[in-house]
Amino acid sequence: MIGRLNHVAIAVPDLEAAAAQYRDTLGADVGAPQDEPDHGVTVIFINLPNTKIELLFPLGEDSPINGFLKKNPSGGIHHMCYEVDDIIAARDRLAEQGARVLGTGEPKIGAHGKPVLFLHPKDFNGCLIELEQA
């Protein structure tokens, strides 16, 4: 069901410093910041030959990333995103197998302009999973 790894998301306490580290220290292709108000984050994508890294920073006081950074003040891996061909079919199949879809269960538009869903980390070995329609 899942396709390629789209990205690994890392929550960071300082978005500019993290972007500079990837750009200047590691020599990566670092994109521009983009606000995603529906998800409560500002993101920067780092383009790698085989996938992407998504840097996440809180956008506002209600951002879900605030809680993560309180528990992990230095930042850390927040989630992994896999591509699926049909997000509704994937959601329905996962729900039938007992996986919990977070939120309303309806896809939202993600940072790439495509529908996304998140799956409860307790159902996937402690890892928050994002599914993005390819």
Hey, which bits of 1-134 come out as E strands?
5-11, 29-30, 34-36, 41-47, 52-58, 76-84, 108-109, 115-119, 128-133
**DSSP code of 100?**
P
Considering the candidates 54, 83, 130, 132, report the single residue annotated as catalytic: 130
CA-wise closest residue to 49 among 111, 5, 11: 5
The yes-or-no answer on residue 83 being catalytic is no
Which amino acids are annotated catalytic? Answer: 130
